[in-house]
Structure 1
Amino acid sequence: MTDLDGGANPALAALGAAGIEFTVTRHGRVSSLAEAAAARGIDPAALLKTIVVRRADDDFLFVLVPGDRTISWPKLRELLGVSRLSMPDAGTAREVTGYERGTITPFGALHAWPVIADARVTGRVVSIGAGAHGVAATVDGDDLVRALAATVADVTEPA
């Protein structure tokens, strides 16, 4: 598979290798989550944000957050049994995932960091970024969770 520029797209390749059904949506660059949802023809709640979180030095994880929600840091810290979490800067996020902000996805990332999916990901069809600006994959949330061996937990709150 290729990205919008015609180059290899590791996210789409990883999605294909995961053995789950998905549909690729391509649209131009967008400047907001609402604009991305509109371009994909979905409700913002069905658009997943992939957030990279630092647990410790060289220890990261991905958190899948519905578009109408935000991470609840107390819930996430409690789930992970830690007292401190942080978000890496854009350069570090790219270094540990292989993707720049706005294109980050667990699929095809440089490292297979653990994935936590908010409980609202399951039981519905969702859209997740696919490694390039304006490229997304629409997939069954339950299949997504299985393919990523994600931990499912209530780790968000309304935005």
Structure 2
Amino acid sequence: MREAAAARGLDIEIRERPAARSLPEAAELLGILPSGIVKTLVVKRPSANSGAEGDYLFALVPGGRAISWPKLRALVGVNKLRLPEADLALAATGYERGTIVPIGSTTDWPVYADDTIVGQRIAMGAGSHGFSLFVDADDLIAAYGATVADISVPEEPRD
């Protein structure tokens, strides 16, 4: 992870952290707002060739927000996107769900970042459970040539 970050000129901080049962609890443990925790979601897109497997992209979405599938489909220029099964996400990135981050992924999939993370220092998965990675969002966006756009909506409150 550190080598992959250094290769892209990224300054990262990795912190060990206890498990959390919720986004607010995780944010409190890290001393940040829930919106400062950014989920890296692996999204499967169809292949341009019918019958082929297709490929993936990373969507970076801040805590308290969810992917807007219509917005992301329009931006990517496809009419179908989906979250892959856990084993496919692992095969596509080398990381288990809950630890996924573009940095050090086994494949450099395209990155789409929600515009609300611009200008922030963010916490993300760090490649293994029990750790969080901190990085300046603008540096991450630049290092990966990420597409920045409005790709999220507020999450629905849970009962």
- Confirm or deny a common fold (TM above 0.5): yes
Alignment of 1:28 onto 2:24: no
Q: Which runs of 5 or more residues in structure 2 are unaligned?
A: 47-52
Query: Alignment length, in residue pairs?
Result: 149
Q: TM-score, normalised by structure 2?
A: 0.88
Alignment of 1:68 onto 2:58: no
Residue 50 of structure 2 corresponds to none
Give the AA of the match of 2:125: G
1:105-124 matched pairs, under 5 angstroms: 105-124=101-120
Q: TM-score, normalised by structure 1?
A: 0.88
Q: How many Å separate the matches in 2 of 1:24 and 1:108?
A: 14
1:48–1:76 distance in 2 versus 1, CA, 3 Å: same
1:18 Cα offset (Å): 2.1
Alignment of 1:15 onto 2:5: yes
Residue 41 of structure 1 corresponds to 31
Give the secondary structure class of the aligned counterpart of 2:141: helix
How well do the aligned residues superpose, as a CA RMSD in angstroms?
A: 1.3
Alignment of 1:55 onto 2:51: no
Give the secondary structure class of the aligned counterpart of 1:54: strand
State the Cα deviation string for residues 65-94 of structure 1 (Å, max 9, x = none). 001100000000110111111110111111
Residue 4 of structure 1 corresponds to none
1:62-141 matched pairs, under 5 angstroms: 62-141=58-137
Identity of aligned residues (%): 48
State the Cα deviation string for residues 3-51 of structure 1 (Å, max 9, x = none). xxxxxxxx33312322122222211233332222222111010110000
Give the AA of the match of 2:5: L
Q: Which runs of 5 or more residues in structure 1 are unaligned?
A: 1-10
